[in-house]
């Protein structure tokens, strides 16, 4: 750029009115200094005055700050999820590998305290160590078998303990769950064998009960039949016997074909040769 061009630019600037120049300078300074901050959805703004954390926490929206003097740090206060794998020991000294899922969020009004005492690395500094410690402490109260059979109780104990621990750091627990428990291969096989034995024992017990019930039913039926026969014998009398004989004779007469018998058995009147006598 030669001297004539520089001189021409200077002359052009001198021709611009002073108020316009001042306005342009103010706009440039405003844009460069950026004296505002935008706090997005699910965020809170921590205000620093020359690096010192202030008591006020900025909510969502647009806020003005003093350039150079103030700085605003944005923290996420939405629900976040962390999945942590842990290794602990049960009360019977079995190694237990657990997968833990935790939903949590920073208490919005305490975002400035969280930043002041912990910083932005609160997961690495507070949450992960707290999960490991709680899982180990609770797992040590139960046997390996109880960790399986009492899983809801174990999960609730871990959740309560973790909630109390994180509240000290202004972190709130939204949900806690044990995704999975796993044990050594030897222990797993022993549990499976025990369950199989229990199932077989239960089946045998049920079969025994069924046989017992069937036997009791047969005994009851036999007693009922015996009682029926006893009552029948008790009701037999000479009159009843005579009645049965008469009924039998009537049935025999109904079936008679009109031909007289040649011989009547013992106890009756002998009718011998009646047919021959009629011929004579």
DSSP assigned state of 230: H
Alpha-carbon distance of 138 to 181, in angstroms, equals 14
d(CA 77, CA 113): 13
Structure tokens at 257: 């074909």
Beta carbons of 60 and 72 less than 8 angstroms apart: no
Which among 13, 177, 209 is positioned nearest to 102, based on CA atoms?
177
Per-residue pLDDT averaged across 268-277, rounded?
46
d(CA 124, CA 73): 19
CB-count exposure of residue 127 (10 Å: 0-12, 13-18, 19+)? buried
**Residue 28 pLDDT exceeds 70:** no
pLDDT digits (tens, 9 = 90+) for 106-150: 999 999 999 999 999 999 999 999 999 999 999 999 998 888 889
Distance CA 58, CA 47 (A): 7
pLDDT(274) > 50: no
For 42-58, what is the mean pLDDT? 94
* Superfamily the domain 80-188 falls into: Band 7 domain (3.30.479.30)
Confidence of residue 262 (pLDDT cuts 50, 70, 90): low
- Domain parsing of the chain, residue ranges: 3-76, 80-188
Nearest to 162 by CA among 231, 274, 261, 86: 86
Taking only the tens place, the pLDDT of each residue in 156-210 is: 999 999 999 999 999 999 999 998 888 877 776 666 677 777 777 777 788 788 8
List helix spans (H) across the chain: 3-15, 18-33, 111-117, 122, 128-139, 144-149, 151-167, 185-235, 238-255, 274-279
pLDDT at 225 over 90: no
Q: Greater confidence, 72 or 235?
A: 72
Tell me, what's the pLDDT at 103? Answer: 96
Residue 4 has pLDDT above 80, yes or no: no
Residue 17: the pLDDT is 64
User: Phi and psi for 16 in degrees, rounded to 5?
Assistant: -75, 135
pLDDT in the model for residue 68? 81
Residue 273 pLDDT: 46
Residue for token digits 């921590």? 46
The tens digit of pLDDT for each residue in 69-114 reads: 899 999 999 999 999 999 898 898 888 898 999 999 999 999 999 9
For residue 41, CA distances in Å to 75, 76, 141 come to 11, 9, 42
């Amino acid at each position: 750029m030669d001297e004539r061009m520089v001189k021409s630019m200077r002359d052009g600037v001198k021709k611009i009115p002073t108020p316009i120049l001042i306005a342009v300078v103010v706009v440039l300074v405003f844009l460069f200094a950026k004296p505002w901050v935008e706090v997005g959805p699910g965020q809170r703004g921590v205000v620093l005055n020359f690096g010192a954390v202030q008591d006020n926490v900025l909510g969502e929206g647009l806020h003005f700050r003093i350039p150079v003097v103030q700085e605003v740090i944005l923290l996420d206060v939405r629900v976040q999820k962390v999945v942590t794998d842990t290794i602990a020991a049960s009360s019977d000294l079995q190694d237990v590998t657990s997968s833990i899922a935790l939903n949590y969020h920073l208490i919005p009004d305490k975002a400035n305290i969280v930043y002041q005492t912990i910083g932005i690395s609160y997961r690495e500094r507070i949450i992960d160590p707290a999960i490991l410690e709680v899982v180990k402490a609770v797992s040590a109260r139960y046997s390996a078998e109880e960790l399986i059979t009492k899983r809801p109780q174990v999960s609730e104990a871990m959740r309560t303990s973790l909630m109390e621990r994180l509240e000290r750091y202004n972190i709130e627990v939204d949900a806690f769950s044990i995704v999975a428990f796993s044990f050594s291969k030897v222990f797993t096989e022993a549990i499976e064998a025990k369950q199989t034995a229990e199932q077989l024992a239960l089946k045998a017990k049920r079969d025994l009960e069924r046989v017992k019930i069937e036997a009791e039913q047969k005994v009851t039926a036999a007693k009922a039949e015996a009682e029926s026969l006893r009552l029948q014998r008790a009701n037999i009398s000479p009159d009843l016997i005579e009645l049965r004989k008469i009924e039998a004779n009537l049935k025999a007469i109904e079936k008679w074909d009109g031909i007289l018998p040649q011989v009547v058995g013992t106890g009756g009147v002998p009718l011998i040769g009646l047919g021959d006598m009629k011929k004579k």
